[in-house]
Structure 1
Amino acid sequence: MEFELKKAIEILENTPLVLESLLNGLSKEWIRNNEGENTWSPYDVVGHLVFGEKTDWMVRIRIILSDSENRSFTPFDRFAQMDADQNIPVKSLLDEFRLLRMNNLEELASLNIQREDLDRVGVHPEFGEVTLKQLISAWAVHDLGHIAQISRVMAKQYTQEVGPWTRYMGILKK
């Protein structure tokens, strides 16, 4: 499928609802368990998404669309959520994520991005030049990847319990 801003926004708009539907009201074990050492729980993923809404996606979009000659991105700390308060209830994190995302999408709409803007570039600290189209595409795919990650982490909590069905459960083999 070829990139269309409207289609990317469809994913970005729905992510908070998907996560709220999946995680709200679940026990601590579903929210806090992970796949082992140096892996993330659903709670960690939501914290990561909150941090990204505050410091990554829209910040970089504004850099790309700016008139500044310096379009370099500040490196993003992919693990910053691990240093945040770990006692915040997941419902509060989900509420914060929904509000931040709503505000970011309102700001994105206010930028009135045109087709020619999608080819404007910023400079990623690792990848070099990236286009606005690539950044927004990555934002949507990033959401989908973390939704899949949360589902996988949760499914793996029952790896032993599904018994012989394991062979039909592709999510448990990744």
Structure 2
Amino acid sequence: MSFNLNKATEILERTPDVLTSLLEGLSDEWIYTNEGGETWSPFDIIGHLIHGEKTDWMIRAEITLSDGPEKTFTPFDRFAQFEESKGKTLSQLLTEFRDLRKKNLITLQSKNITDEDLDKTGIHPAFGDTTLRQLLSTWVAHDLGHIAQISRVMAKQYKYDVGPWKNYLPILDR
């Protein structure tokens, strides 16, 4: 499937509801457990998604769509959520994510993006020239990747309890 903004929006608009349905009201063990070491818990991942809504996707889309001479993106802080989420509850984070995503999708739709716009470029600090099509495709894949990550982190809480069925559950070894 090639990129289609309407299809992309179908995923982007559902992500907050998917995550709220999956996580809201769960016990702390589900929310704050990670995979060990410096891995992220579902709580951390929601914070990361919020930071992206504030500083990544639409900011970079605006830069890409602009006619200004400076098209270089500011580097994204992949760990900002640890400070920004302090003192907040999961429920607060889910609400904030939902509100920010809704606002960003309204802004995105207001741009009336054309096929020509999708080929416009911005400059990623590590990758160089990237198109709006690539940025928006990455936004969708990023959402789906973090939904899968949350599911994996949660599934691993039963890694040793599933017994011999572990052989049929590759999610437990990823």
> Does the pair score TM above 0.5?
yes
| 1:120 has 2:100 as partner | no
Whole-angstrom distance in 2 between the partners of 1:3 and 1:55: 23
Cα pair distance change 1:85/1:135, threshold 3 Å: closer
**Alignment-derived partner of residue 86 in structure 2:** 86
Dislocated runs of 4+, deviation >6 Å: none
What does 1:67-82 align with in structure 2 at a 5 Å threshold? 67-82=67-82
| 1:62 has 2:97 as partner | no
1:19-65 deviation per Cα after TM superposition (whole angstroms, max 9, x unaligned) = 00100010000000000011000000000000100010000000001
Query: What's the offset of the Cα at 1:173?
Result: 1.4
| 1:161 has 2:171 as partner | no
Q: Which runs of 5+ in 2 are unaligned?
A: none
TM-score by length of 1: 0.98
- The one-letter code of the counterpart of 2:29 is E
1:44-88 deviation per Cα after TM superposition (whole angstroms, max 9, x unaligned) = 000000010001000000000111011000000000001224331
**Alignment-derived partner of residue 19 in structure 1:** 19
TM-score by length of 2: 0.98
**Alignment-derived partner of residue 136 in structure 1:** 136
Say which structure, 1 or 2, has more relative contact order (CA 8 Å, 6+ apart).
1
Structure 1 range deviating more: 95-104 or 161-170: 161-170
RMSD: 0.7
1:130 aligned counterpart, secondary structure: strand
Whole-angstrom distance in 2 between the partners of 1:113 and 1:134: 14
What does 1:2-13 align with in structure 2 at a 5 Å threshold? 2-13=2-13
